[in-house]
Amino acid sequence: MNPDTPVRVAPGHLAGPGNAEAALEDFFESCPTWSRWRPYDETTLALHERLTAVIELDHETTENPRWTIASYQSPVDELAWQATFCTRTPVEIVMAVAHRLTAALDSPSRLAGEDLLWGGHSYEDAVRHAVEGADVPWEQAVDSRQWRRADGTAAITPASHDPWAPGPAESVTTLSGGPSGSDREQHWWTATFTQHTPTALIIAALDEVVEPLPADREFGQVSEANRAHVHIEARRSRAASATSGGGVPVIGAAVPGTALAYTPTDPARRSR
């Protein structure tokens, strides 16, 4: 299979980072309350019209976060919270957080916006509700606060206390994923959420890993380390689909290899 062959990869949290630039373009098209600012060639910023939230995409980094989502109490206040996503993080996870934040910022009332950010559960209850509601419930480590997917391909380590309670600024929630049994430093992606990050934003990212949907990629975007842990099917490109008048049908068999058993999840399952 050629590196530029369009494919559909399941589960999506092992599909690789995807196309960050295309994801940001789609975000601008679907979320008109954000505007683009490019202060440097290597950086694009999305600024919300309230001037209290910013999304930063670093196009060229190899070590620093690829994406940063940050919020401020007011346009002239200090940082309230921040979420960062490494270069290997799937764009679907980043966009899940960005769209949830947008829904809250664009709410007609402050009360409705706060409800979208914090939800009806405490921080720890929300995490537990998400992981225990999976088709195969996650397992909690005996010696830590960490929850792990049963197949060993993802984990979340909640902050050591409620993110809205007073505490050290370094208290963070870490969400990570990658091929089971592989070197985490080399092959896993990591997303971090600082103290005071709204609970619903963390859960939006977590849901992408608890019940992952398939992700569209080019075959070359799926790392070799991940290919034995995913199901890959060829799909038609947008141009080919438009020419044939069809949707995005599968046009090839699954790539040979040891693939995880996988059943796509109904997006409605994400409603919590």
**pLDDT tens digit sequence for 76-105:** 889 999 999 999 999 999 999 999 999 999
Strand partners, 7: 217, 234
Q: Given pLDDT bands bounded at 50, 70 and 90, which one contains residue 114?
A: very high
Contact (CB, 8 A) for 156 and 131? yes
Give the count of beta carbons closer than 10 Å to the beta carbon of residue 211: 20
Q: Given pLDDT bands bounded at 50, 70 and 90, which one contains residue 232?
A: very high
**What distance lies between CA 23 and its chain's CA centroid?**
12
More confident residue, 84 or 185: 84
What is the rounded CA–CA span in Å between residue 71 and residue 53?
A: 4
**What distance lies between CA 260 and its chain's CA centroid?**
21
Contact (CB, 8 A) for 73 and 80? yes
Statement: residue 236 has pLDDT above 50: yes
**What distance lies between CA 259 and its chain's CA centroid?**
22
Helix, strand, or coil (residue 249) = coil
Place of tokens 């606060």: 145
Give the CB-side neighbour count of residue 132, counting CA atoms within 13 A: 7
Mention every residue, 6+ apart, whose C-beta is less than 8 A from residue 121: 129, 199
> pTM for the complete prediction?
0.85
Mention every residue, 6+ apart, whose C-beta is less than 8 A from residue 14: 153, 177, 178, 179, 212, 226, 229, 230
Statement: residue 163 has pLDDT above 70: no
More confident residue, 190 or 120: 190
Tell me, what's the pLDDT at 76?
A: 81
Domain segments of the chain as ranges = 18-213
Q: Given pLDDT bands bounded at 50, 70 and 90, which one contains residue 166?
A: low
Q: Given pLDDT bands bounded at 50, 70 and 90, which one contains residue 164?
A: low
Average pLDDT over residues 122-135: 91
Contact (CB, 8 A) for 62 and 69? no
What is the rounded CA–CA span in Å between residue 87 and residue 62?
A: 7
Q: Given pLDDT bands bounded at 50, 70 and 90, which one contains residue 170?
A: low
Statement: residue 249 has pLDDT above 50: no
Proportion of the chain in helix, strand, coil states, percent, rounded to 5? 30, 25, 45
**What distance lies between CA 98 and its chain's CA centroid?**
9
Average pLDDT over residues 214-226: 95
Q: Given pLDDT bands bounded at 50, 70 and 90, which one contains residue 183?
A: confident
Statement: residue 128 has pLDDT above 70: yes
pLDDT tens for residues 37-89?
998 889 999 999 999 999 999 999 999 999 999 999 888 889 999 999 999 99
What is the rounded CA–CA span in Å between residue 198 and residue 200?
A: 6
Tell me, what's the pLDDT at 267?
A: 42
Mean pLDDT over the full length of the chain? 86
